Amino acid sequence: MDPVDLEQLSIEPDDELEEAICNCLYKLLPTLKPEYAEVIWRIDLLEEPRDRVAASLGVSLNNITVRLHRGRQALKKRLEEMCMTCPVHGFLDCRCDEAERWRRRREQLGGRAEI
């Protein structure tokens, strides 16, 4: 696709999807280690610059980068454990055949998200 064509695409935000994702994030964020939750909250959700977050916490920029990476990984794992996951349509209560197979497999594995 030509880059000019991409600029002409109209992509409207999906408020319902945004709300579903935010509800999961806001409920699951406090279940992470506090140092991970804080950097995700401030950097990803409040869009604070990493260097300002590092300075306010008295740690290096490298440390903030590591915390953010580890926090995102932990949040991803928590989302996979807790949300009704559809590998095709995302983290919603999807009822497609693939999501139903995923749920049955999770049940067989005792609730773990691995396939």
Cβ atoms 58, 65 nearer than 8 A: no
State the CATH number of the domain containing residue 72. 1.10.10.10
Along the chain (115 residues), what's the average pLDDT of each consecutive run of 10 residues?
57 60 74 95 93 97 97 87 59 59 74 47
Are both 100 and 62 inside the same structural domain?
Answer: no
**pLDDT at residue 113, rounded to an integer:** 46
Are both 59 and 94 inside the same structural domain?
Answer: no
Are both 101 and 46 inside the same structural domain?
Answer: no
**pLDDT at residue 79, rounded to an integer:** 77
Per the structure, the complete domain to which residue 95 belongs is given by 85-115
Count of domains forming the chain: 2
Please count the other Cβ atoms lying within 10 Å of the Cβ belonging to residue 102: 19
Assess if residue 2 is contained within a domain: no
